[in-house]
Amino acid sequence: DRHHGGPNFMMHSGISQASEYDDPPGLREKAEYLLREWVNLYHSAAAGRDSTKAFSAFVGQMHQQGILKTDDLITRFFRLCTEMCVEISYRAQAEQQHNPAANGAIIRAKCYHNLDAFVRLIALLVKHSGEATNTVTKINLLNKVLGIVVGVLIQDHDVRQADFQQLPYHRIFIMLLLELNAPEHVLETINFQTLTAFCNTFHILRPTKAPGFVYAWLELISHRIFIARMLAHTPQQKGWPMYAQLLIDLFKFLAPFLRNVELNKPMQILYKGTLRVLLVLLHDFPEFLCDYHYGFCDVIPPNCIQLRNLILSAFPRNMRLPDPFTPNLKVDMLSEINIAPRILTNFTGVMPSQFKKDLDSYLKTRSPVTFLSELRSNLQVSNEPGNRYNIQLINALVLYVGTQAIAHIHNKGSTPSMSTITHSAHMDIFQNLAVDLDTEGRYLFLNAIANQLRYPNSHTHYFSCTMLYLFAEANAEAIQEQITRVLLERLIVNRPHPWGLLITFIELIKNPAFKFWSHDFVHCAPEIEKLFQSVAQCCMGQKQA
């Protein structure tokens, strides 16, 4: 809704108005006087519950000073107030630096004193703008104000660089969020639009755009009230896609540093915070992680095993997973194995339309063979080692071909199994990728398969069979070694481990048909051999334990 007057328009006009400095003469003084007045009123004993008495008196003063005459003046008033609150915070911080003996708590309280008053003023103006039932003006005003604060933040961030302080903005956002989520009827009716406005705000301030705000940002998106409202309170899971976008923003910021293992102290702390948020989500909202696992895995670098395991271990709460260590567990007898999981990411969109057309035609007719030989060049984007492939395209290709294969087998009246998945256009593609790709490409390809090994569902089962089939039919030991590597490296990390991953690995080492123990790479080095033995003991010796 970028159109004139929509909430998004209001936010962006707020952002651009934050850098207009051609204020009419005397406005700054007026704003300063009014803000000071309001801070005093807010903290006075006679303010009334929720400052309502003080507010009606104050609106009179705003009228008198001519602030409420035009939208432009109101906007400028908010911008000036934000700047003043920020200025006060910087001055308090400087005071602390000049005088380290000063009590930090009192200095912070000074900042809160002004910021909380300003936030209450915003909340009251939003609540009382327009008629009681007029939600449009309220939401427009909210977006406008959020836009102004965002604009001031971005400017401050760009100008002060390393001296930028998160505190004032952090406090404004979180306190305003809490004020607007109070249990009141007027606020309940606009709650979803309020949350949308905050999500847009947080998305604009994502860490790649405002890296100096990243810690406060993570606190904002992981605040218990925000998570509860976004994932639990909002009906029909309407908050889920917006929250997933914020997590993707976080992963995108972390990705290059995690991939390069450049983890200095600040990055480690942020990473730990990310793990904690994911643990909370895994415990409280596993269905959310299930539904968006694809989008998350698409942006998490391949070497972040545990981060990905947290996401892949999520399963619906009403489901009981059979213990993977049960002897003679018949996976194909489970009823859940025929049910497809929900994928709420549009993964086919990654594929170029011509490529998708050729792919569909190959899956249908199993020709021309040139499609297979050109696959590799379609996936490869550069010649730089470590950066050769379009990872998103590999992931999309693997999942798309797999889901098409499952549908194809179902159409033929049977279910996916070790025998039904073979000798098809779909398996041609997988086998070709396993043989034709170089080590880097194959690693990414096998990871794309392993990302589907989750709780009992049709994808888990299909890709588990595919992985084992690729192992059994491999024409080179290098492929088998890499399959083992991909599975093993996801299991030697700390818990949690996805169910389908364990099932697949146990099948591989237990089933004599795979002749797992006769391969050279199992015995290539004494420490590797020891590792396999301990994992095998862990996987098979559970009865004694």
Partner 1 sequence: GVCPLGSIPISKDQHYQHIMQEAAWTHMPHPSDSERIRQYLMRNPCPTLPFHHQMPPPHSDSVEFYQRLSTETLFFIFYYLEGTKAQYLAAKALKKQSWRFHTKYMMWFQRHEEPKTITDEFEQ
By the criterion CB under 8 A, which residues form the site for partner 1?
93, 105, 108-109, 112-113, 116, 157, 161-167, 170-171, 174-175, 207-208, 211-216, 219, 223, 253, 256-257, 259-262, 264-267, 269-270, 302-303, 384-387, 440, 443
| Residue 152 · residue 18 · CB < 8 Å | yes
Task: Give CA–CA dist 452/446, Å, rounded.
Answer: 10
CA end-to-end span of the chain: 60
Percentages (nearest 5) of helix, strand, coil residues in the chain: 70, 0, 25
Look at the block and give the residue holding tokens 């660089």.
Answer: 161
Q: How far is the CB of 335 from partner 1 (least distance, A)?
A: 37
Rg (CA), the chain: 29
Q: How far is the CB of 112 from partner 1 (least distance, A)?
A: 5
Nearest residue (CB) to partner 1, 166 versus 424? 166
Task: Give CA–CA dist 77/70, Å, rounded.
Answer: 11
Residues 6+ apart with CB under 8 A from 516: 484, 508, 509, 522
What is the token pair recorded at 492? 């030697």
Which residue from 204, 183, 181 is spatially nearest to 193, judged by alpha carbons?
181
Task: Give CA–CA dist 197/192, Å, rounded.
Answer: 9
| Residue 151 · residue 209 · CB < 8 Å | no
Q: What angle do CA 514, 416, 492 make, to 5 degrees?
A: 45
Q: How far is the CB of 106 from partner 1 (least distance, A)?
A: 8
Q: How far is the CB of 543 from partner 1 (least distance, A)?
A: 34
Nearest residue (CB) to partner 1, 116 versus 291? 116
The whole-angstrom distance between residue 270's C-alpha and the CA centroid of its chain comes to: 14
What is the token pair recorded at 524? 């290539």
Instruction: Give 441's Cβ-side CA count (13 Å radius).
Output: 23
| Residue 465 · residue 417 · CB < 8 Å | yes
Task: Give CA–CA dist 245/242, Å, rounded.
Answer: 5
| Residue 302 · residue 440 · CB < 8 Å | no
Look at the block and give the residue holding tokens 């948020």.
Answer: 277
* One-letter identity of residue 259: R
